Structure 1
Amino acid sequence: MATETKNHRLFTQLIDESFSVVNADVYNLYITLSKYTIRFGVEDNIRHKFLLLEDYTLTKTFNPLQLVRQLREIILEHAFLSTVKWHQVRVGIKNQKFTFLPGTLYQAEAAEEYLKLHSEIDEFHDRVYSYQHPSLDMVTIFATDQYLPTFLQATFPPDIIQIRHQVSAFIETLLHITERSAQKRLYAYVEQDYLTLIIIKNNQLEFGNVFYYATPEDFIYFLIFVMQEHELNPDQDPVTIWGDVLHDSDLFDMMRKYVRNLQMGKKPSGLSYSYKFEEQFDHRYLEVFSLHYGE
């Protein structure tokens, strides 16, 4: 592998001994992308067991085209990623170009117009998608730059590709792994520069949004603001968090200062994981695991 021109670095690699490309036709390949990371997961669709996890950190990624080029380089380094026949390929995208709409009001031909009311869409470069939540009367409408679907369709059989917004995957996961409650519950997914906040009550979505933050002060402002707007008490009501935050980080210390009942999330139940995954904190990589849920 060339190293001088690469703008990515393998940060984590976990591979179970039972993983074999010969069995790829019963494996689901999961891919998540952001400005800072590209992550892969492989799940045995028969046993519902995760066998592989790879996490790449990125540098010099300033636009969607550069991100797709890095994805292509990583896939080419793993020749089998594009040459074997996967059962399904699910890709999770992360951006703020999304909105929710009641399923009863949704009309597919108007999806782009709905989204334009909430997000700035590039008519020449963006493609608009929708996802009907099987557990809710709700559709998530979102956009991604055309470079990604063009690359995916040239790399994998189009009929096995699913593109989803990470907010949709997060919501579906929470609906499956949390107990039904008449009380509002706040869940957070923390990434570099972005904070996803979801509020669920009685297995229904009360609130969902992705916030960009530049400083820890921005981060805590959004968290407390959403709690106050939805009548949640930072001194009493629990907040469960997943993502790229460590117990000894300044961000976590700040959260504990303002939110008394702070809980770290766990890997989704109902799935199994290679023993290799025990090397990681349970609250990490939910974005990959969450692509298991939904249809």
Structure 2
Amino acid sequence: MIITKNEKQDIFKMSIQVRLNGFSFCILNCSNNEITWYKKIDLGKEQSPVEILKEIEKLYAEETNLQTEFLEVIVLFSNNLYTVVPESFFIEEEASTYLKFNTKILKTDVVAHDMLAHGLVNVYIPYTNINNYFFDKYGEFEFRNNISVLIEAVLAKNTESKNAQVYLNDYSSYYDLVIVKQNKLLLANTFQYDTKEDFIYYLLFTAEQLQIDPSEFNLWLLGDISKNSDNFNIAYTYVKYIDFLIPAFNFTSKLEQSETFHREAFSLLKTLKCE
């Protein structure tokens, strides 16, 4: 086939999010800046990396959209196997020592890190078996820890408000929590929960430890949470200023263009960029 000057070749980029309880795929066509495919698989409860990989392999065997040739692939690992440290204290050769206080490290674990803005480093453990699978498929690709995306997005807002800004990205059985005040990171953590009482307990306990008042901070919600949910209702009871974050993306889409979709797929969309 001869391509003339008036014809464009489609250029695809894909972001993949591997969660404790599932995974998601998002494909961007850079020739027209369009999100062409989004797929979210919810496995219900926390799964091992081995079980998650089995489900990913099953999807690849069934889904024709994944047979596309991609210019770029980015994998995001969403788990609680991370810690954020100041860059001034970070020594790459000693990376595992930053994790040993809050994470059980196995001899087979590989420790990675994301260099973030504002002099921060996120040290974390990716799933080696899943990385190996994608390397076999695509060769070299970029991978990051999922909360790194949220931290950078929050700090990029450059909010100088004297009140703390609390960002909660919910994944049905756990959530990422990032708290900033006057554009300085106070906390980045992940909490697993079973009930709505667990959901609000971790939020209020964290606020108490940081000495920020639920009647004063702003709570911004992302992810799998709606105004009709029990989690929202209990948070609304205890937190005075609560709202849904409205992410701004300039993609077109044959899929959903709703704010709900943008909040659910926030990390995936945030990592997709065309030159």
Output the TM-score relative to the length of structure 1: 0.81
- Assess if the C-alpha contact under 8 Å between 2:207 and 2:213 holds in 1: yes
- Tell me the percent identity: 21
Q: Which amino acid aligns with 1:75?
A: Y
Q: Select which of 112, 121, 129 maps to 2:105.
A: 121
Match of 2:40 among 55, 61, 67: 55
1:48, distance to aligned residue in structure 2 (A): 5.5
The corresponding residue for 1:153 is: 135
| Counterpart-to-counterpart distance in 1, 2:72 and 2:209 | 40
Counterparts of 1:62 and 1:270 in 2: how far apart (Å)?
31
8 A Cα contact 1:92 1:291, kept in partner:
no
Distance in 1 separating the partners of 2:17 and 2:168: 18
2:78 to 94, 106, 117: 94
CA-CA distance at 1:257 after TM superposition? 0.9
Aligned residue in 2 for 1:166: 146
Alignment correspondent of 1:195: 175
Structure 2 unaligned segments of length 5 or more: list them. Answer: 1-7
CA distance, structure 1, for counterparts of residue 9 and residue 62 of structure 2: 18
SS of 2:214 mapped into structure 1: coil
Deviation at 1:117, TM superposition (A): 3.0
1:145 alignment partner AA: Y
DSSP-derived class of the 1:199 partner: strand
**For residue 277 of structure 1, what is the aligned residue in structure 2?**
256
User: Cα 1:240–1:131, aligned 2, differ >3 Å: closer, same or farther?
Assistant: same
Name the structure 1 match of 2:246: 266
User: After the TM superposition, which residues 242-257 of structure 1 pair with which residues of structure 2 at under 5 Å, given as runs?
Assistant: 242-257=222-237
Counterpart of 1:110 in structure 2 is: 94
Separation in 2 of the partners of 1:98 and 1:235? 30
- 1:212 Cα deviation after fit: 1.4
1:132 alignment counterpart: 115
Cα offset for 1:246? Answer: 1.9
1:235-254: CA deviation from partner (whole Å, max 9, x where unpaired) = 23220011111211111111
The whole-number CA distance in structure 1 between the counterparts of 2:107 and 2:23 is 26
Output the CA distance in 2 between the equivalents of 1:273 and 1:178.
27
**Structure 1 outlier segments of 4+, above 6 Å:** none
Listed as ranges, the gaps of 5+ residues in structure 1 are: 1-20
Q: What value does the CA root-mean-square deviation take over the aligned residues?
A: 2.4
CA contact (8 A) 2:10 2:31 kept: no
- Scaled by the length of structure 2, the TM-score of the pair is 0.86
Deviations 1:207-260 (A, max 9, x none): 111111122111111111122222322223220011111211111111111112
Aligned pair partner of 1:81 in 66, 73, 87: 66
